[in-house]
Amino acid sequence: MRDPAPPYLELLLEKSFEIIPGEFYNQYRLEVAERVGDSYLFYEFSLMEEKPWRILRERVYPLFVRYMKAKLIDPTTASGVVVAVFHGDKCYLMKGEDFLAAYREIEGIDHSAFHARVQKWLSV
C-alpha cells in the first residue's frame, strides 16, 4: 500500500481544471494553439511525490514568478497562464491564478504577504 500523498500535493492538484495523460500534453498544446492562437502562455514542471513542499516553495514558485516577470505578465496574478504539472503519468492543468492561490493557501498567507514574497523573489 502506498503512503498517502502529502497534503500540499492534494491541495495543489485539486486546483486543476483538467487532467490529461502526460503523453498527450504536446498534442493538447497544439490543439489549444490552433483554437486560440498564442494568447496563452504555458509553464511546465515535473512534480515527483518525493519532493517536499519546501522544494516548491523555495525553487519552483520563485522561478515561476521570475519567468512571469520576464514574459511581462503580472507575477502576482499570472493571468493568462496555464501551468502544466506533470505528476506520475498524468498532467494536471491549472490556471496561473489557481497555481498562485494554492501557494497562498498552503503557506497560510494573504494577498499582501504574498505580494511581499513576490517582491523578495524578484529582487534576488
104 close to 12: Cβ distance less than 8 angstroms? no
Say if strands 18-21 and 41-46 run parallel, antiparallel, or are unpaired: unpaired
* Model pTM score: 0.90
* For range 22-49, the mean pLDDT: 86
Please write the tens of the pLDDT for every residue from 57-102.
Answer: 999 999 999 999 999 999 999 999 999 999 999 999 999 999 999 9
